[in-house]
Structure 1
Amino acid sequence: MKNNKKKKETMIKKTIDFENKVILAPMVRIGSFPMRYLSLKYGADYVCTCEIVDKRIIKSTRIVNKKLGTIDYMNKDRIEFRTTDYEKGKVILQLGTCDPDLALQAAKHVEQDVAAIDVNCGCPKRFSVIGGMGAALLANPDKIIAILTNLVNNLSIPVTCKIRLLNTYEETIDLVKRIEATGVAAITVHCRDAVKIPVIANGDIFCYDDMEKIKKISNINSFMIARAAQSNPSIFRRDGLLPKLQIVKEYSKLCAKYDMPYQNAKYALLCIWQDHQDNIGYSLVKSKSIHDICKGVGEEEYYYQVLKERNEKEIELSEETRAKQEETYADQCPYIPRAPYIPKNLKHALDESDDKGGKVDNENKKDEKIVVKGDEGKENVHVEVNGNNENNNEVTKEKKSIIDESKIITEPNSQESEKNKHKKIKLS
Structure 2
Amino acid sequence: MNRLLKLPSVRQALRLHCYAYSTMTDHAIAPPVPPPEPGTGINAGTGTAPADSISAVAPTTTSPVPAKKYGKVVLAPMVRSGQLATRLLSLKYGADIVWGPETIDKSLIGCERVENPVTGCVDYMRTGLIFRACPSREKSKFIFQMGTAAPDTAVAAAKIVAQDVSGIDVNSGCPKPFSTHAGMGAALLKDIPRLLSILNALVAEVGLSTPYALPISVKIRLLPTVEETHALVTSLCKTGISKLTLHCRTPPMRPRERAIRDALAGAAAICKEAGVEFFVNGDIKGWDDAQEVIKEYNIDGGAMIAIAAESNPSCFIPNHLGGPKPWREVVTEYVRIAMSVENPISNTKFCLLNMVPGKNEMHKILSRAKTYRDICKALEIECTFPEELDLGTLKTQRVRAQEEKEAVLQAERDERQKKLAEFKRKKAGEKEESNKRIKMDEDSGERSNVNNNPVGAAVAELAATDILVPAEAVRAVV
TM superposition score normalised by structure 2: 0.58
Mapped to 2, the partners of 1:289 and 1:306 lie a distance apart of 10
Alignment of 1:155-234 (within 5 A): 155=206, 156-189=213-246, 190=264, 191-195=267-271, 196=273, 197-221=276-300, 222-234=302-314
The aligned runs of 1:227-376 (5 Å cut-off) are 227-238=307-318, 239=321, 240-275=323-358, 277-299=359-381, 301=382, 303=383, 305-307=384-386
Match of 1:25 in 2: 76
Determine the C-alpha separation between the residues in 1 that align with 2:270 and 2:137.
Answer: 35
| Residues 82-121 of structure 1 mapped to structure 2, 5 A cutoff | 82-121=133-172
Q: Deviations over 1:272-314 (max 9, x none)?
A: 1132x53321121011122222222222x2x1x453899xxxx
Separation of aligned partners in 1, 2:162 and 2:344: 24
Aligned residue type for 1:247: V
Match of 1:39 among 68, 87, 90: 90
Tell whether the 8 Å contact from 1:65 to 1:71 is kept in structure 2 after alignment.
yes
**TM superposition shift of 1:59:** 2.9
More strand by percentage: 1
Q: Is 2:315–2:324's contact at 8 Å kept on the other side of the alignment? A: yes
Alignment-mate amino acid for residue 260 of structure 1 = N
1:187 is paired with a residue whose SS is strand
The CA distance in 2 between the partners of 1:255 and 1:295, in whole Å, is: 15
Moved over 4 A (4+): none
Amino acid at match of 2:243: A
The structure that has the greater radius of gyration is 2
Q: In the alignment, which residue of structure 2 is the partner of 1:56?
A: 107
CA contact (8 A) 2:353 2:367 kept: yes
Secondary structure of the 1:184 match is coil
Equivalents in 1 of 2:372, 2:346: separation in Å? 9
SS at match of 2:280: strand
Query: What SS does the aligned partner of 1:252 have?
Result: helix
Give 1:39 deviation, angstroms. 0.6
- Please tell me the residue identity of whatever aligns with 2:362: I
Query: 1:135, 1:150 → 2: CA distance?
Result: 19
Paired position in structure 2 for 1:356:
none
User: Which of 129, 133, 154 is residue 184 of structure 2 equivalent to?
Assistant: 133
Residue pair 2:314, 2:325 contacting (<8 A) in 1 also: yes
Deviation per CA, 1:329-351: give whole Å up to 9, x if none: xxxxxxxxxxxxxxxxxxxxxxx
How far residue 175 of structure 1 moved from its aligned partner, in angstroms, is: 0.9
Distance 2:293 2:338 in 1: 35
Contact 2:73 2:287 in 1 (8 A): no
Whether the 8 Å contact between 1:249 and 1:298 is mirrored in structure 2 is no
- Structure 1 pair 274–128 and aligned structure 2 pair: CA distance change class (3 A): farther
Instruction: Give, in angstroms, the shift of residue 51 of structure 1.
Output: 0.4
Q: Which amino acid aligns with 1:40?
A: L
Change in Cα spacing, 1:116 to 1:170, as seen in structure 2 (3 Å) is same
- The total of aligned residue pairs comes to 289
Which segments of 5 or more consecutive residues in structure 2 lack a partner in the other structure? 1-69, 207-212, 247-263, 390-478
Amino acid at match of 2:114: I
Q: Mean alpha-carbon deviation: is it higher for 51-60 or for 22-31?
A: 51-60
The amino acid that maps onto 1:192 is A
SS of corresponding position for 2:109: helix
Report the residue type matching 1:242 in the other structure.
K
Q: Which residue type is aligned with residue 224 of structure 1?
A: M
Deviation string, structure 1 residues 192-223 (Cα, Å, up to 9, x no partner): 02232221011111023322331343111511
> Equivalents in 2 of 1:81, 1:256: separation in Å?
14
In structure 2, what is the Cα distance between the partners aligned to 1:69 and 1:31? 19
Partner secondary structure for residue 178 of structure 1: helix
SS at match of 1:138: helix
Deviation at residue 21 of structure 1 after TM alignment: 1.4
> Which digits, 9 at most, give the CA deviation of each residue in 1:43-62, with x for residues without a partner?
11110110000011113211
Q: 1:46 is aligned with what amino acid?
A: I
The one-letter amino acid of 1:204's match is D
What is the Cα deviation at residue 68 of structure 1?
A: 2.0
Unaligned stretches of 5+ in structure 1? 1-18, 311-428
Please give the alpha-carbon distance, in whole angstroms, between the structure 2 residues aligned to 1:209 and 1:30. Answer: 22
1:337 paired residue number:
none
In structure 2, do the counterparts of structure 1 residues 309 and 69 end up closer, same or farther at CA, with 3 Å as the change threshold? farther
Tell me, in whole angstroms, the C-alpha distance in 2 between the residues paired with 1:278 and 1:180: 47
Measured after TM superposition, the shift of residue 133 of structure 1 is 0.6
Q: Is the 8 A contact 1:56 1:80 kept in 2?
A: no
- Please, which of 73, 81, 85 is the counterpart of residue 124 of structure 2? 73
Cα distance in 1 between the residues matched to 2:118 and 2:291: 43
1:96-155 Cα deviation digits (max 9, x unpaired) = 000100000000000010000000001111211111111010000001100000000111
Deviation at 1:252? 1.0
RMSD: 2.0
Structure with a larger share of its residues in helix: 2
